[in-house]
Structure 1
């Protein structure tokens, strides 16, 4: 990269999640680029837009927009033209494609995807479920789960569960601890069970950091509270991972190696495994 500093303005009439995701994905392809994001969300009035335009003029840079109000779009375009800046309306190509397919125009409504509908309340319900069933809590409630994540301590079970909950998936997670019996509900699970694994070296580093945060007084896993050294011992961790892998293999639970995966990628793999589980179950009748 040339070392050029770029201001990139993201303007949305809703939460800005769409723009943030697109910008993050695009910026990741420009290694070393110095790009400063300026996020402007919930822009639904001329007064709010004028404050945004003042910010753009102070920190000049191209604009990505998901505004759907035609008047606000027009004013934004005029201001950017005056400043010699590019503006790109990210949803327009999708709108054009769908309009051609349906033969009908859109009815622009800011934040329309965030209505309090059944899908919204399903996500909230899933979030409450994850909180109640995190790290092996409320075992009897496993019968209500859409998926059960298992894995050794610090293998990304909790963050993956919360990400899935944001998709409306009730994800319970159960720690695999040598010497501790599994919940009987896992003998005949009512939903897919997926094992999450991580390689030994990064796992030890994560655990060491965790122990330092806790003051090394007690490990985060109950089984290691009496001996924090075993929690980060290379040989002990290797044996723990081997035991967990063999356990999942013996029960035919699919596994995901999370070592070099983001939470989003891990969740996507879990969703694919859930789909496969349901397809196989449907074929069996």
Structure 2
């Protein structure tokens, strides 16, 4: 059984969290479930490996490591064998089998998983942000947004916000309606991070008619009337002039195309 004297040195060319978790999982299978773990992260040279193995030899410890750099793996294995130190190469055998299966060479780049995880969580955070601050739900979010989209109803504000979120950009959007005063926060943020959306009256008329039919309503309701649409677009144009923000016409534009133009605007504004 493991006891209080059990010692493991963990080496990694990244953080070493994987090796440490494996060692802890193995230790939990013994009565005491305890192992003294000394983690040495970001190892990039043989000298650090040599010093660590010398310490492991003195402490009669085991060595576990996750190296993706072949030279460090080979050096560690040979040195442990030379000094008769028990060791576990956690990453090596898995990488070798994957290389055989895929018939491809690995990138030999430490820390890729952490980078992928970071990108993933940033994307999830941006998606949650877009949902929370969609359709002007909470104007307090405008200050925290990377970009704020404004425009009349059915100008693709929500789809564009979600598409930007998948690119790790926090987007909020605010509908411009003549009967509703825009939030004061909209006029307090940098106009460089506000993008106005406009559309041709005729296309908006068709989109709104289809929307009403989808909801089981008559397509000649005020919401889809040309008079109402022209009034809304005129009002929105006035607000955008006050904001002094760039304006994009989304008429007959795919979400991907409009997003590309938005990204160019945001890069220019940085």
TM-score class normalised by the smaller sequence? 0.5 to 0.7
Superposition pairs for residues 259-278 of structure 1, below 5 Å? 259-278=251-270
Distance (whole Å) between structure 1 residues aligned to residue 114 and residue 234 of structure 2: 44
Aligned residues: 170
Distance (whole Å) between structure 2 residues aligned to residue 135 and residue 180 of structure 1: 13
Uncovered stretches (5+) of structure 2, i.e. residues with no partner: 1-97
Distance (whole Å) between structure 2 residues aligned to residue 72 and residue 273 of structure 1: 44
- Name the residue aligned to 2:4: none
Distance (whole Å) between structure 1 residues aligned to residue 163 and residue 113 of structure 2: 19
Point out the more displaced range, 137-146 or 167-176.
137-146
Q: Could you tell me how far 1:73 is from its partner in structure 2?
A: 6.0
Distance (whole Å) between structure 1 residues aligned to residue 149 and residue 232 of structure 2: 17
3-state SS of 1:196 partner: strand
Q: Could you tell me how far 1:245 is from its partner in structure 2?
A: 1.6
Superposition pairs for residues 153-172 of structure 1, below 5 Å? 153-172=153-172
- Name the residue aligned to 2:225: 233
Distance (whole Å) between structure 1 residues aligned to residue 100 and residue 205 of structure 2: 56
- Name the residue aligned to 1:202: 203
Superposition pairs for residues 13-162 of structure 1, below 5 Å? 71=100, 107=107, 116-162=116-162
Superposition pairs for residues 165-180 of structure 1, below 5 Å? 165-180=165-180
Distance (whole Å) between structure 2 residues aligned to residue 230 and residue 195 of structure 1: 24
Distance (whole Å) between structure 2 residues aligned to residue 170 and residue 261 of structure 1: 22
Distance (whole Å) between structure 2 residues aligned to residue 230 and residue 114 of structure 1: 53
Offset from partner CA, 1:108-162 (integer Å, 9 cap, x none) = 89xx789642222111100000010111112112111000000000000000000
Distance (whole Å) between structure 2 residues aligned to residue 118 and residue 236 of structure 1: 46
- Name the residue aligned to 1:247: 239
3-state SS of 2:172 partner: strand
Q: Is the 8 A contact 2:155 2:197 kept in 1?
A: yes
Distance (whole Å) between structure 2 residues aligned to residue 273 and residue 201 of structure 1: 27
**Structure 1 residues 136 and 262, CA, compared in 2 at 3 Å: closer, same or farther?**
same
Offset from partner CA, 1:198-238 (integer Å, 9 cap, x none) = 11111111111111121228x9xxxxxxxx72211112212
**Structure 1 residues 203 and 182, CA, compared in 2 at 3 Å: closer, same or farther?**
same
Distance (whole Å) between structure 2 residues aligned to residue 196 and residue 115 of structure 1: 34
- Alpha-carbon RMSD: 2.6
- Name the residue aligned to 2:84: none
Distance (whole Å) between structure 2 residues aligned to residue 250 and residue 139 of structure 1: 18
Q: Is the 8 A contact 2:99 2:106 kept in 1?
A: no
